[in-house]
A = this chain, B = another copy of it.
Amino acid sequence: MQSVERLQRTFIQSLEASMGEPEWSRQPDRLYAPQRYILAMGGKRLRPVLALMGAEAVGAKAEVALPAAHAVERFHNFSLIHDDIMDAAPLRRGHATVHERWGVNTAILSGDALFALAFKALEAAPKSALPELYRVFTQTAMEVCEGQQWDMDFEHEDRVEEGAYLRMIQYKTSVLLGCALQMGVLSGGGSAEVAQALYSFGLELGTSFQIHDDLLDAFGDPAKTGKQAGGDLIQGKKTMLWIELGRRSPEHLNEAMALSGSERVDVLTEALETTGVRAYVESRRKEHFDRALVALGRAGDLGAATPDLRELAEWLFSRES
């Protein structure tokens, strides 16, 4: 965890310093205050750390990937602002969401401006890497929008196939992790082969990460996750748990969906255990984690970065929140 913590500090210092830059004192403040607010909320800073690790993986200084790190973190927070509107979410990390605090219109618009500022961050990246950085970043931005649209479409579908679910989480979550690493490698002047291998590493890690989130929702400790136990189950969200239970035992699912609140959660969590769905989903989570390590192997010997990236993967795999 030493490297992760070191790179988290590097990014956070740069984030705090960046707040003194002219773009953050632009007017009207009502447009920029919500952006500063969500960027200051914290979190694991996973995406910027991955960007910095990508640069170190190819023997460059982490700092060379700071523009890419800011770009992915700003993009991630832009997508959170807009997703929270679409989900009508009142809280994020224990704070009021942007649209709750400033209204939907300012939330739409400050999200848009943060998307623009994500592109602005890239201007400071190494010039020779710029066209490729913009290309990868733009492609990922489109895919994240596609993933979010699929997620919304699932709400209106009775049945979702596991393949469609995996594609959705890959686009909504995984590609940005892969993109962060790839942009770090490109910023550090690394080869297309290493960039591609670490992109795959990030992609598989992201998929494992999202399945993990689904499991924590149902089986995690609310005191650690900071979320309502079974929140997804109560809402009837089409996670891998929901899909697989519907495939194995639709009667269990129907029985539970006739209930509500914690009663539904109790019936569902028991059914997920007895039908073997939990164990199955755990095995799928492990499968994507293993694939991430295979992809890491394809990147070849990256010196100290190889154990650093493996450590980061294991940290994410064992997290309880």
Q: Which of A131-184 contact B (CB under 8 A)?
A: 131, 134-135, 138-139, 141-142, 145-146, 148-150, 152-153
Stretch at the interface among A12-20, A114-122, A224-232, A279-287: A114-122
In contact, B82 and A112 (Cβ under 8 angstroms): yes
Known: A116-B138, A138-B119. A152 touches B86 (CB 8 A): no
In contact, B108 and A108 (Cβ under 8 angstroms): yes
Decide yes or no whether A26 CB sits under 8 A from chain B: yes
In contact, A106 and B28 (Cβ under 8 angstroms): no
Secondary structure at the A interface, as helix, strand, loop or mixed, is: helix
Decide yes or no whether A58 CB sits under 8 A from chain B: no
Q: Mark A1-31, 1 if CB is under 8 A from B, else 0.
A: 0000000000000000000000100111011
Closest chain-B Cβ to A296's Cβ sits at a distance in Å of 29
A25 to B138, CA, bound (A): 17
In contact, A146 and B116 (Cβ under 8 angstroms): no
Decide yes or no whether A105 CB sits under 8 A from chain B: yes
In contact, B30 and A149 (Cβ under 8 angstroms): yes
In contact, B115 and A112 (Cβ under 8 angstroms): yes
With both beta carbons as reference points, the residue of chain B lying nearest to A107 in the complex is identified as: B108
Q: Which of A82, A106, A134, A149 has the most CB of B within 10 A?
A: A149
What are 9 A-to-B residue pairs whose CB atoms are below 8 Å? A30-B153, A85-B105, A86-B108, A113-B145, A116-B145, A119-B138, A119-B141, A123-B131, A127-B131
A sample of 4 more A-B contacts (CB under 8 A), given A82-B112, A86-B108, is A28-B146, A110-B149, A112-B141, A130-B131
